[in-house]
Amino acid sequence: MPQTTPQSHFIALGKAVVKTEQRAISALLDRIGDDFSKACELLLDCRGRIVVIGMGKSGHIGGKIAATLASTGSPAFFVHPGEANHGDLGMITTKDVVIALSNSGETSEIISLLPLIKRLNVPLISLTGKANSSLASFADINLDTSVEKEACPMNLAPTASTTAALVMGDALAIALLEARGFTENDFALSHPGGSLGRRLLLKVEDIMHKGKHIPMVNQQTNVSDALLEMTNKGLGMTCVIDGSGLLCGIFTDGDLRRALAKNIDLNATLISTVMTLESKTISADKLAAEALQIMDENAIGALVITDSNNRPLGALNMNVLLKAGVV
């Protein structure tokens, strides 16, 4: 039977790991200098793609760095050095730049690729923990990702070193993002299927209820009939228009509760006497995220979409935004 480990010991070990990795990251600050700037310039001038290579745990970090670069405006992909030694090196062209990760700087699968990379005359940036290693010496630019020690108590399992390499890769990606003038719209275009893309690309007109699905009554309608319209359209509100078809108010579930508190006669009371007069509106060409912001700032659950003449074009509520993935 294994010995029972006190809860306090687990907590202490966890904190020790975090502190070790914090020191590894902090040490990188003094290494962001001329070599880092030159690496950014090389990557920015790349006319092909950024090819990231790494073995083992460094390979996993390399895959993430490649993905971050690609999603922030710098075309990149990961190549496994073992596969590259058996044909995949053909994926690298003379227009590319290679980023190679190896804490030791002596990973055999990467070292064996160096003569071929040299023959292609492809610029090489290395991220290593040893500045005098074979890989660092061969590279055009070496970025120092060395650590005082790994978070592993035996100083063996790649932990702090992989964290340092990941942070250095993130630093490169974000520096390039800024240099390229990469915008929110650019980011959304590369993430169309995710919630970020939906928040940044989806417009009000894409999700609003329109046409016969807009809850709408005339200002001379009684409250009882307005409630039927609200129920049929399912948005918990109805637009109220005047004789010219212009928006003159909105009636919501909240307005109904306030009206009922006054013991009104639903069949005899006109909607115009209990509606909210100055309702918040938005135009159809605005982002759905802007509609959400208006609703949050004003603590309202529904919004009317109007044209330039204040004529209702659509309506939506918080549930519509939820279903669209905007919230």
Instruction: State whether 150 and 224 are in the same domain.
Output: no
Instruction: State whether 19 and 156 are in the same domain.
Output: yes
Instruction: State whether 104 and 238 are in the same domain.
Output: no
Give the range of the structural domain holding residue 225, as residue numbers without chain letter.
204-323
Q: Of 113, 167, 67, nearest to 124 (Cα)?
A: 113
In a domain, 195, yes or no: no
In a domain, 190, yes or no: no
Instruction: State whether 26 and 150 are in the same domain.
Output: yes
Decide: 252 and 237 in contact? Cβ < 8 Å: yes
Instruction: State whether 287 and 176 are in the same domain.
Output: no
Instruction: State whether 220 and 296 are in the same domain.
Output: yes
Q: Is the pTM of this model over 0.75?
A: no
Instruction: State whether 49 and 164 are in the same domain.
Output: yes
> How many other CB atoms sit within 10 Å of the CB of residue 290?
14
64, 150, 159 from 156: Cα distances, Å:
22, 7, 9
**Where do we find the tokens 């992989």?**
162
In a domain, 193, yes or no: no
Instruction: State whether 172 and 77 are in the same domain.
Output: yes
Instruction: State whether 89 and 143 are in the same domain.
Output: yes
43, 80, 137, 165 from 123: Cα distances, Å:
9, 18, 13, 19
173, 203, 280, 281, 325 from 305: Cα distances, Å:
39, 12, 9, 6, 19
What share of the chain has pLDDT > 90, as a percent? 68
In a domain, 260, yes or no: yes
pLDDT tens figures, 199-240? 667 889 999 999 999 999 999 999 999 999 999 999 999 999
In a domain, 194, yes or no: no
Burial class (CB in 10 A: 0-12, 13-18, 19+), 133: buried
Residue 103: its pLDDT value, please? 96
Q: Is residue 161's pLDDT more than 90?
A: yes
CATH number at 39 reads 3.40.50.10490
In a domain, 137, yes or no: yes
In a domain, 191, yes or no: no
DSSP code at position 251: E
Instruction: State whether 110 and 209 are in the same domain.
Output: no
In a domain, 153, yes or no: yes
Instruction: State whether 169 and 35 are in the same domain.
Output: yes
Largest interatomic CA distance in the chain: 90
> How many other CB atoms sit within 10 Å of the CB of residue 50?
24
Q: In angstroms, rounded to a whole number, what is the distance separating the alpha carbons of residues 103 and 168?
A: 13
324 vs 57 pLDDT, higher one: 57
Question: Which amino acid makes up residue 102?
Answer: S
Q: In angstroms, rounded to a whole number, what is the distance separating the alpha carbons of residues 191 and 170?
A: 18
Mean pLDDT computed over 181-193: 59
Instruction: State whether 164 and 80 are in the same domain.
Output: yes
The answer for 211, left when phi > 0, alpha when psi is -120 to 50, beta otherwise, is left
Boundary-marking domain end, from 182, 216, 246: 182
Domains in the chain, number: 2
185 pLDDT band, cuts 50/70/90, is: low
Q: Is residue 87's pLDDT more than 70?
A: no
DSSP string of 127-156, one letter each residue: EES-TTSHHHHHSSEEEE---S--SSTTS-
Boundary-marking domain end, from 150, 182, 214: 182
